[in-house]
């Protein structure tokens, strides 16, 4: 697949806290960094998503008395998995992996900034109505196809992919540029949901 001039690469949450050694490690998360750097050099348009929570964020187990990480609770907008504290604004854990090398990226979109709403997706927060503005940015720049890589495949990448499809973009998730958390079958479920939604699941070798 040659890269269209109307395509953008969205690099999702390649941050220290999602790398082994961080607060919410995604197994093998560090392994995708060289591939992402190589792939990104083929794109003119690169956007980076950054999970960026205030301390005391509603998605942190520590914000809920008696709850443990990976418990699921009901919030006004629906079920919420509780996580270890992670990607706290301006912390080292929230910084990009030190070897991520995307000098030509034009936009960093920060998400999960609202203390009372989580946001896995780089497009729409978990209340499904607060937008990050990313759809408008991409459409104003005439982007019609969004390639995605990053962490975690079964959370932030999947929700970003579904929302991008719903917004009318062609979406290609580059599987070897992603790694998953895989909680209770979440990886298989994510693959099925993306396929159902018409997301193309590809390998980096398909992009030339």
Active site residues: 13, 111, 156
- Which one of residues 7, 14, 23, 51 is an interface residue with Zn ion (CB under 5 A)? 51
- Which one of residues 7, 9, 13, 173 is an interface residue with ligand VGL (CB under 6 A)? 13
Whole-Å CA distances, 170 to 48, 110, 177, 200 = 18, 22, 18, 8
- Which one of residues 156, 161, 190, 199 is an interface residue with ligand VGL (CB under 6 A)? 156
Residue 154 as a binder of Zn ion (CB under 5 A): the answer is no
155 binds, among Zn ion, ligand VGL, none (CB under 5 to 8 A by kind): ligand VGL
Residue 17 as a binder of ligand VGL (CB under 6 A): the answer is no
Torsion angle, alpha carbons of 46, 42, 102, 37, to 10 = 130
Residue 51 as a binder of ligand VGL (CB under 6 A): the answer is yes
Residues 124-153 that bind ligand VGL (CB under 6 A): 151-152
Binding site for ligand VGL (CB under 6 A): 13, 18, 51, 83, 120, 151-152, 155-156
Binding site for Zn ion (CB under 5 A): 51, 112
């Amino acid at each position: 697949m040659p890269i269209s001039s109307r395509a953008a690469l969205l690099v999702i949450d390649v941050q220290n806290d999602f790398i082994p050694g961080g607060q919410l490690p995604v197994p093998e998360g560090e392994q995708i960094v060289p591939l992402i750097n190589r792939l990104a050099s083929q794109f003119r348009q690169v956007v980076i998503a950054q999970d960026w929570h205030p301390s005391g964020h509603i998605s942190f187990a520590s914000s809920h008395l008696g709850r443990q990480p990976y418990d699921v609770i009901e919030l006004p907008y629906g079920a919420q998995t509780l996580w270890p504290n992670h990607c706290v604004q301006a912390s080292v854990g929230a910084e990009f992996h030190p070897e991520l090398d995307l000098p030509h990226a034009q936009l960093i979109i920060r998400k999960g900034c609202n203390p009372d709403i989580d946001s896995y997706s780089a497009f729409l927060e978990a209340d499904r109505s607060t937008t990050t503005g990313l759809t408008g940015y991409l459409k104003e720049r005439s982007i019609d196809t969004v390639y995605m890589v990053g962490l975690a495949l079964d959370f932030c990448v999947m929700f970003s992919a579904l929302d991008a499809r719903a917004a009318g973009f062609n979406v290609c998730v580059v599987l070897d540029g992603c790694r998953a958390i895989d909680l209770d079958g979440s990886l298989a479920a994510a693959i099925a949901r993306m396929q159902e939604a018409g997301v193309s699941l590809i390998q980096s070798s398909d992009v030339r």
